Amino acid sequence: MNYVSRNRLWLVVLSLLVVLLAVANLLWGSVSIPVSDVVGALTAGNVSSEGTRFIVVESRLPQMITALLCGPALAVSGLLLQTAFSNPLAGPSILGINSGASLGVALVMLGGGGSVISGAFSVSGFVVVIAGAFCGALLVMGLLLALSTVIRNHLMLLIAGIMLGYVTSSAISLLNFFSTAEGVHSYMIWGLGNFGGVSLSQLPWFAGCCIVGLVIALLLTKPLNALLLGPRYAENLGFSIRRVRHWLLLATGLLTAVTTAFCGPVAFIGLAVPHMARLLLGTSNHNHLLPATMLLGSAVALVCNLACVLPSEGGILPLNAVTPVIGAPVIIYVLIHQRKIQYFN
Amino acid sequence: MKIQAVLQARQLMIGYHPRRKDERVVLSDLNFELRSGELTCLLGPNGVGKSTLLRTLASNQPPLGGELTLDKRPLSGYSRSELAGKLGLVLTDAIHAGGLRVHELVALGRQPHTGFFGRLTARDRQAVTDAMRLVGILHKRDAYVAELSDGERQKVMIAKVLVQECPVIILDEPTAFLDVVSRMDVMTLLRRLAAVQGKAVLLSTHDVDEALQLADRLWLLTPQGIQTGATEDLVLSGAMDGLMPHPGIRFDAVSGRFQASVAGGRRVCIEAASPLLRRWAENALRRNEYRVLAADDAAAATAGRLRIEGTSDMTWTEDGHIRRFSSFGALIEALREGVHTWK
């Protein structure tokens, strides 16, 4: 079997895996619910109690769909950043884009005294939080892009990104300091990361933003491949680098902003999943890498969500306690085998 | 095949930061034309502006003044996508495509001709295969780019530019970092492309040797400007001497090479049994700061005299000292110690 059909097969396998994990996410939660009840709740059939129906439809279903979309959103923004900066260690959390979005959210949330996140989310509240996160993410990305024209060295740019992250974090600390206790608390809870933050009524908005971002990314497949050769070659292949960068900025900003606003600053999925996809397929060709990254992002997010409810006696682990456990080993593996893997040479 | 000018410059001024206070002119008043069906080599010392010129020709940076036309239309009037099908580039930029297969990278060159998603048609695939065969990389079709040697990688980039199907190909030092064999390979390949496919090929290089052998035309870039012409015309007109204006270096038109000029005042006459022996004797003595005189030179009487019968039979005569040597190694060692120390 040649590698093209092997890659196609992988995409099919990954799709099946995602479906399987999605079902598992519906069946398995912090409260144990029999399969028949889950099916009943979803098909509007017989359910043993209204509480069960509520848990399945109002909690598990939106949480599963959120993870299903949040994973690819983060993973794809990581992939776009890695290609745009030709840097294997680029990712929304490393480059401070997460922090930028967090700052935007913090401004809205702490400025609003914690009412925005904790209470019933109106559509306007949703828009305000998204807009805040989007502005914050775009601000950091814009700064990074400006810096990237001055700082040619990729490692230096990475460090500049980390510095930007520190500055935004310090601004967030300052906001926390002057905020109410309630606001600080809700901000802290949000910062732990959680796929359960999107209610059924907000879901269409969340899903819409994610899908728009992912579609933009898919439409950028051709210039992304050209960018593997560096900006001047890409330009010689007929692309306006400025325009491509703007679209990349928009897609990454949107994806990072919407996920950060609702699921908190989720670490490592954006950084690690593109590497997992590259290792799995053995290619940096975006024709296959991009869909594989999306599917793998879904799978990883769904696995993380399952792991969060692992302590089945009532407790739910914070998402950001789980993602590094999966993400960090991948990155360390990539660093150790960098010579052998060579996809950035 | 009819040879014609495709890229023309009149009074071209190149440099950085147009329309800004710190505008920096690198070179001005450049007049030249790049012709199809010919391999043109751009030669010049480091820092004279070769890369600036190539970047300007490739429309990566705008000219500061003058006129630059491609197919009789101003270069600035072309859109990015139009230019992509007209002018192909091979750069020295680092690429990050180690995770692509060779044919995937070559196929990127088809992008100006493919649709929005870059799907390859049968014709595109055929062009990719043909280009890989032409540059001699077809056997590595499915290898990762990261696994290639520098020479192979350069061939892949040339295949990429071939499938772009541009009438003009510009290469920035395509033979740098290559060993002799790959260098010759790449240069003859480019020469053949120009001659057979009628492309206008321009490349910059530091390798005077290969440029003189294979270039149809030379562009000599110096701080004074550009001199263009057929290789042999330029060499015989003495234009090469001005290329490296350095007192320690001069161009030897006979050997076609730049040589370190002799600093020392010691002189020698050589009688050799064959031109080959003479050539290498001169090489050894020149390196040791001897000036080699012609046999009928007036100063020859007082100079040292080296008689070479064979590779292991040479005699040095000077100031009444006579000594035989069985190798150049022994001769040079004795000369370093000084003739006056000989017994």
Q: Does A324 touch chain B (CB under 8 A)?
A: no
**CB contact, 8 Å: B61 with chain A?**
no
DSSP-derived secondary structure letter, A313: S
> Is B266-341 the same fold as B5-251?
no
Chain A residues closer than 8 Å to B89 by CB: 232-233, 236
Model confidence at B260: pLDDT above 70:
yes
Q: Averaged over B183-205, what is the pLDDT?
A: 92
CB contact under 8 A, A284 and B99: yes
Measured between beta carbons, which residues in chain B are less than 8 angstroms from residue A344? 96, 98-99
User: SS3 of A255, please?
Assistant: helix
Backbone angles phi, psi at B45, to 5 degrees: -70, 165
pLDDT of residue A340: 67
Interface mutation vs chain A, best among B79, B80, B168, most A CBs within 10 Å: B80
CATH entry, A3-341, from 1.10.3470.10, 1.10.569.10, 3.40.50.620, 3.50.30.40: 1.10.3470.10
Q: For chain B, what is the HEC assignment? A: CCCCEEEEEEEEEEEECCCCCCCEEEEEEEEEEEECCCEEEEECCCCCCHHHHHHHHCCCCCCCEEEEEECCEEHHHCCHHHHHCCEEEECCCCCCCCCCEHHHHHHHCCHHHCCCCCCCCHHHHHHHHHHHHHHCCHHHCCCEHHHCCHHHHHHHHHHHHHHCCCCEEEEECCCCCCCHHHHHHHHHHHHHHHHHHCCEEEEECCCHHHHHHHCCEEEEEECCEEEEEEHHHHHHCCHHHHCCCCCCEEEECCCCEEEECCCCCEEEEEEECCHHHHHHHHHHHHHCCEEEECCCCHHHHCCEEEEEEECCEEEEEECCEEEEECCHHHHHHHHHHCHHHCC
Check CB contact under 8 Å for B100 and A287.
no
Contact A226 B108 (CB under 8 A): yes
**CB-closest option in B87, B94, B117 to A230:** B94
Paired with B32 in beta bridges are B9
Mark yes or no for CB contact A238/B60 under 8 Å. no
The partner residues of B221 in beta bridges, in order of sequence, read: B226
Name the residue facing B112 among A219, A237, A285 (closest C-beta): A237
B101 has a chain A CB within 8 A of its CB: yes
Instruction: Tell me the pLDDT tens digit for each residue of B44-91.
Output: 988 898 999 999 999 888 899 899 999 989 999 999 989 999 999 999
Q: What is the mean pLDDT of chain B?
A: 89
Query: How many whole angstroms from its chain centre is CA A235?
Result: 29
- Residue B267: phi, psi to the nearest 5? -125, 155
Select from A102, A84, A252, A249 the least CA-distant residue to A167: A102
Q: What pLDDT was estimated at residue A120?
A: 44
Q: Which helix (H) or strand (E) holds A159?
A: helix A154-177
pLDDT of residue B36: 93
Long-range contacts of residues B62-66, Cβ cutoff 8 Å, at least 24 apart: B62/B18, B63/B12, B63/B13, B63/B14, B64/B13, B64/B14, B64/B15, B64/B18, B64/B23, B64/B25, B64/B28, B65/B11, B65/B12, B65/B13, B65/B28, B66/B9, B66/B10, B66/B11, B66/B12, B66/B13, B66/B28, B66/B29, B66/B30
What is the pTM (predicted TM-score) of this model? 0.86
Q: What span, in angstroms and rounded, lies between the C-alpha atoms of A68 and A24?
A: 12
Q: What tens digit of pLDDT does each residue of A264-306 get?
A: 888 889 999 999 999 899 899 999 999 999 999 999 999 999 9
Give the ipTM.
0.84
Decide if B112 and A238 are in contact by the 8 Å CB cutoff.
Answer: yes
Minimal-distance CA residue of chain B relative to A339: B146
CA of B310 vs chain A CAs: smallest distance (Å) = 52
Nearest chain B residue to A233 by CA: give it: B89
Q: Cα torsion for A269, A274, A279, A285, to the nearest 10°?
A: 170
Chain A residues in contact with B105 by the CB 8 A cut-off are 229
Instruction: Please check whether residue B114 touches A, CB under 8 A.
Output: yes
Task: Classify strands B24-35 and B5-16 as parallel, antiparallel or unpaired.
Answer: antiparallel
Contact A237 B111 (CB under 8 A): yes
- At B16, list the tokens: 């950085």
Find chain A residues with C-beta within 8 A of B104's C-beta. Answer: 283, 285
Mutate to test the interface with A, among B52, B101, B111, B160 (most CBs of A within 10 A): B111
Task: Give pLDDT tens digits for A34-89.
Answer: 888 888 888 877 777 888 888 888 888 999 999 999 999 999 999 999 998 888 88
State residue B245's pLDDT score. 76
pLDDT at B3 over 50: yes
Higher-pLDDT residue of A145, A18: A18
Ordered by start, the domain boundaries in chain B are: 5-251, 266-341
Hey, are the CB atoms on A278 and B99 less than 8 Å from each other? yes
Whether the CB-CB separation of B205 and B220 falls below 8 Å is answered with: no
Interface contacts A/B by beta carbons within 8 Å: 96
Which pLDDT score is estimated for A1? 64
pLDDT band at A174 (very low <50, low <70, confident <90, very high): confident
CATH superfamily of B266-341: Lipoprotein like domain (3.30.160.150)
Residues of A in contact with B80 (CB under 8 A): 235, 238-240
Give me the residue label for tokens 């790049």: B34
* CB-based contact B137:B156 (threshold 8 Å): yes
Sort B103 into a burial class: Cβ within 10 Å, 0-12 / 13-18 / 19+. buried
Backbone angles phi, psi at B277, to 5 degrees: -65, -40
Distance from B142 to chain A by nearest Cα, in Å? 9
Interface residue of A237, A242, A243, A280 to substitute, partner B, most B CBs within 10 Å: A237
What is the domain class of B5-251 according to CATH? alpha beta
